[in-house]
């Protein structure tokens, strides 16, 4: 029965979605490089030409950019609430829900980077000033909608990368935890600090943090409302990479873009199926997980991309995948 349920879920998830770009606006630009390292050691990587252009326009709480050229397929989602330290407001939740839905429907998207347009901050969590003005009856529905946003972010079919160049606290860290991969600058600050306010993480933090770093460590961090820097987050397994911050304050973003560029040339359907197999398989027993993997593998066999991959290997050339 569990296997059958897994197959039904797969069939639902594998439906082809029509392309769509509603709610897409301008973001980020290019040029400059930095020295970076991963938590397992230090080493130089080739310069990456891509830096962000910041704006003080407070009306644009969220900016989304679909990159083009060789970076076509990479979508950069930038939070831009400088006066509120990128805190999660009603407006930001609505804008992000719209952006996530647009990305979900667009088969041309190959990876997503969630980052900040504001130097020194990723997301400070809930907008407590706005929250203080809410009626008690409004708080529950708002938290529920924010939780739904983060769930939808986690359910995107393509790889998602959180580029954390500053503080990611409370709901900000919960947003990052919903992403597949987290990259921090060494100066970033991360923590689920809700117990300081006599509440608990309410957007998945109590569930995703233990899955990321283990139950005991997650309990320690949540109970004590502890904040760790980017290097410590990497050591704990909370982040995949920790990079040395640069003068422009976007080192994690640059490393995230480099990683997205590594993902970009791979078979897009295969990457989606790999994510689906991992995400569904990790929640079930091994036998059911293997059945899920088999079902996902079956989806790539009839694709044109698989044949292109075999032809490119035989002809010793780079494959040109089209997501077909």
Query: What are the residue numbers of the active site?
Result: 126, 171, 174, 194
Let me know: does 21 contact 102? Beta carbons within 8 Å.
Answer: yes
Host H or E run for residue 65: strand 62-66
Tokens 């407590």 — which residue? 128
Q: Which two tokens stand for residue 137?
A: 């009856």
Percent helix / strand / coil, the chain, rounded to 5: 45, 15, 40
State the Cα–Cα distance between residues 76 and 79, nearest whole angstrom: 10
Q: Which two tokens stand for residue 299?
A: 């989806």
Let me know: does 156 contact 104? Beta carbons within 8 Å.
Answer: yes
Q: Calculate the alpha carbon distances from 246 to 48, 127, 188 in Å.
A: 12, 28, 12
CA triple 270-275-280, angle to 5 deg:
125
From its phi and psi, is residue 62 left (phi > 0), alpha (psi between -120 and 50) or beta? Answer: beta
Q: Which two tokens stand for residue 117?
A: 């347009």
Q: What are phi and psi of 218, to 5 degrees?
A: -65, -40
């Amino acid at each position: 029965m569990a296997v059958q349920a897994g197959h039904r879920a797969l069939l639902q998830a594998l439906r082809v979605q029509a392309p769509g770009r509603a709610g897409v606006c301008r973001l980020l630009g290019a040029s400059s490089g930095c020295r970076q390292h991963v938590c397992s050691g230090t080493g130089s990587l080739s310069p990456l030409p891509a830096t962000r252009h910041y704006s003080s326009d407070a009306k644009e709480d969220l900016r989304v950019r679909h990159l083009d050229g060789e970076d076509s397929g990479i979508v950069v989602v930038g939070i831009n609430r400088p006066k509120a330290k990128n805190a999660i407001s009603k407006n930001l939740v609505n804008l992000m829900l719209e952006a996530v839905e647009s990305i979900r429907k667009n088969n041309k998207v190959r990876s997503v980077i969630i980052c900040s347009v504001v130097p020194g901050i990723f997301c400070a969590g809930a907008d407590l000033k706005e929250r203080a003005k809410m009626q008690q009856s409004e708080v529950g529905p708002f938290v529920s909608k924010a939780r739904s946003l983060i769930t939808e972010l986690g359910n995107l079919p393509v790889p998602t990368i959180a580029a954390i160049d500053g503080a990611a606290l409370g709901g900000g860290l919960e947003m990052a935890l919903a992403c597949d991969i987290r990259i921090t600058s060494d100066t970033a600050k991360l923590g689920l600090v809700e117990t300081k306010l006599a509440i608990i993480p309410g957007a998945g933090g109590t569930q995703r943090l233990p899955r990321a770093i283990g139950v005991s460590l997650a309990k320690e961090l949540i109970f004590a409302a502890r904040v760790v820097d980017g290097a410590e987050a990497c050591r704990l397994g909370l982040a995949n990479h920790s990079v040395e911050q640069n003068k422009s304050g976007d080192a994690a973003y640059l490393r995230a873009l480099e990683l997205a560029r590594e993902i970009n040339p791979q078979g897009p359907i295969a990457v989606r199926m790999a994510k689906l197999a991992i995400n569904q398989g990790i929640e079930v027993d091994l036998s059911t997980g293997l059945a899920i993997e088999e079902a996902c593998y079956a989806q790539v066999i009839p694709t044109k991309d698989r044949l292109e991959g075999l032809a490119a290997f035989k002809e010793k050339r780079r494959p040109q995948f089209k997501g077909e």
